[in-house]
Amino acid sequence: MRLWELIFMMLWNLILGNHSVIAQRGTVQARIMNGYTGLIFNQIGAPLISGNQQSYSITIHDSRTLVLEIAAPARTPLMIQIQPITEILNHTNSPPSSIPFAWEAAFCNEGLNDERMARNQAIPLDPNQNNFQFEMSDYQNIPGNPAPFENRVKAFLYVYGRLGPIGPVTPGYFTNSMNIEVWY
């Protein structure tokens, strides 16, 4: 029987940014990649408009995608649990206003230590599932793939999604948190 140990629990906020999370236990590490500022849907020049019934997306290739890097020895079994959300809320109103949110995620476990190379190989995860099991792959010795550090290979979890359609809501600051747990 395998004893699963919780190594990483992360709360991240869909709208807020500037998170830095690093967790380590034994030979497994998990961290949010540098430069992550949050899934910020409201962009300069493209504001979200109340009542327009539009949806706004962040795709896997968008620079705003959350990238979680997991480093572990090859063939280490992992379990990832995502506790999804279905909406973001503006708590300044009573009752709170909400906007629908549909999360998406993809995972790359191809022995690629370069996040950009891995992104192109990522396999979408089923959003109707919350638990995923993987075994860390062996390192791929191909041009452009950085050598493993301390005999650890990397896997990458990409989290992104779609906001909307946006109905008539009071303008304000909408947020919510999603839990992602990585076990080994």
Structure tokens at 183: 């076990």
β pairing state of 66-72 and 123-124: unpaired
Whole-number Å distance between alpha carbons of 181 and 184: 10
Run means of pLDDT, 10 residues per run, the chain, 184 residues: 25 32 59 71 70 87 88 89 90 87 92 88 93 88 78 90 89 85 83
Which residues, listed in sequence order, are joined to residue 70 by a DSSP beta bridge?
Answer: 30, 155
- The pTM score is 0.78
